[in-house]
Amino acid sequence: MDFGLTPMQEEIRTNVGRIMQRFGEDYWLARDEDHCFPDEFTDAMAEGGWLGIAMPEEYGGAGLGVAEAAVLMQTVAKSPGAMSAASAIHINIFGPNPIVVFGNEEQRQRWLPPLIRGETRTCFGVTEPTAGLNTSSIQTRAVRDGDQYLVSGQKMWTSTAQEADKILLLARTTPREECERPFDGISLFYADLDREHAQVREIPKMGRHAVDSNEVFFDEMPVPVGDRIGEEGKGFQYLIHGLNPERILVAAEAIGIGQEALDRAAKYARERVVFDRPIGQNQGIQHPLAESWAELQAAWLMALQAAWLYDNGQPCGSEANASKFLGAEAGKRACERAMITHGGLGYARELHIERLYREVLINWIAPVSPHLILSNIAEKALGLPKSY
């Protein structure tokens, strides 16, 4: 049993760490304040070839596994960039997986290289106002009209849609009531986000201001049949194929943010002197930080195990879910503890802790809530009756 990172994973950490050093805390604080997308950062990552880390080599990617992608995303998030940096590239890392696995050769040739080179920007249109975790109840319809579909409906929480050229879009092609099972009749498209027929409205939110979240309204947006991935009606199966890697990456990001907060808290606790001694000499400060260290280490091992299972072709649903659950809880708690360690300063913007805290909450809530993760683990790992 080898718990060490491979030389390749070490190289990823070192080299991505160098890129992250070019974008300091002032850069990310400014993006949080001006709400501007971190183009310089995404350009640097594209230039280094990092966007294609998990994409096949024949399309310009590196063909590495989810474990390597997790090391990449943990390194990106363990920086003052936190979730703003991670979300700016997150979709490129594993989002195109349905294209890789279920797209045809012509589609892969057409879509993957520009995504890997960072030339096209894509977003993810799955969640709807009335369909969050219960994806089968999506209302967005794609109606066949000759050699195209006309898409109408509404998506919610679509990140990066302000500037995206493309959208990975889930829509019903057969009404739910006409389907045998609720998840049938849903199709997956990789479509041009045609702004003549799609209106993108930004959702004001608590944090991660550099990367926009949106509502997208479609009004008979034409999508050529050639932009449908795989067979009509099987889109949901295609989508869930990529969910486990996504959970692992979200875990890695939460863990990275938690580690960044913890490092800052430990540094502050070593240096801040109150009553003639560093506050870090007090066990009341030490113990919560040490507990966070232990929680983050444990969550990281869980994430790496889930990634290892996935990369070795083994089932990893419960492990991927557990890593997202543990990673998000550990990351969130580390940020809270970093804040109380800093006292009032933790609440001040200039120390960045409050920003890390606002951003790690995304990993706690999305893409699946802790409640549903636990329900799923109860059902799948413990054999308890399904509760949802």
Partner 1 sequence: MNIIVCVKQIPDPETPAASFKVDEQAKKVIPAQGVAPVVNPYDPQATEAALQLRDAAGGGKVTVVSLGPDSARDAIKHALAMGCDEGVLINDDAFEGQDNFQTANALAKAIDKIGEYDLILMGRAAADWDMGVVPIGVAQALGIPAVTVAKSIEKDGDSVKVERVLDDGFQTVKAPLPAVVSVSNEFGEPRYPQLRQIMMAAKKTVEVWSASDLGLSPDEVGEGNRVLPLEALYIPKIESNVEIIEGESPEEKAATLVARLREAKLI
Q: Which residues bind partner 1 (CB under 8 A)?
A: 7-8, 10-12, 14-15, 18-19, 44, 47-50, 52-53, 62, 64, 267, 270
- Residue closer to partner 1, measured from CB, 11 or 26: 11
- Residue closer to partner 1, measured from CB, 117 or 141: 117
Distances in whole angstroms, Cα of residue 303 to Cα of each of 44, 157, 326: 26, 25, 9
- Residue closer to partner 1, measured from CB, 15 or 148: 15
> What tokens were used for 277?
């001694």
In the complex, minimum distance from the CB of residue 4 to partner 1, in angstroms, rounded to a whole number: 11
In the complex, minimum distance from the CB of residue 168 to partner 1, in angstroms, rounded to a whole number: 23
User: 213 CB contacts (<8 Å, ≥6 apart)?
Assistant: 157, 158, 159, 202, 203, 205
**In sequence order, what are the beta bridge partners of 151?**
142, 221
In the complex, minimum distance from the CB of residue 17 to partner 1, in angstroms, rounded to a whole number: 10
- Residue closer to partner 1, measured from CB, 14 or 387: 14
- Residue closer to partner 1, measured from CB, 49 or 233: 49
Alpha-carbon span 83 to 281, nearest angstrom = 31
- Residue closer to partner 1, measured from CB, 24 or 315: 24
In the complex, minimum distance from the CB of residue 296 to partner 1, in angstroms, rounded to a whole number: 13
Alpha-carbon span 270 to 131, nearest angstrom = 47
In the complex, minimum distance from the CB of residue 272 to partner 1, in angstroms, rounded to a whole number: 14
- Residue closer to partner 1, measured from CB, 48 or 370: 48
- Residue closer to partner 1, measured from CB, 150 or 298: 298
In the complex, minimum distance from the CB of residue 123 to partner 1, in angstroms, rounded to a whole number: 24
In the complex, minimum distance from the CB of residue 8 to partner 1, in angstroms, rounded to a whole number: 5
In the complex, minimum distance from the CB of residue 48 to partner 1, in angstroms, rounded to a whole number: 5
- Residue closer to partner 1, measured from CB, 183 or 293: 293
> What tokens were used for 276?
């003639």
- Cα pseudo-dihedral 104, 110, 113, 118, rounded to 10: -120
In the complex, minimum distance from the CB of residue 45 to partner 1, in angstroms, rounded to a whole number: 10
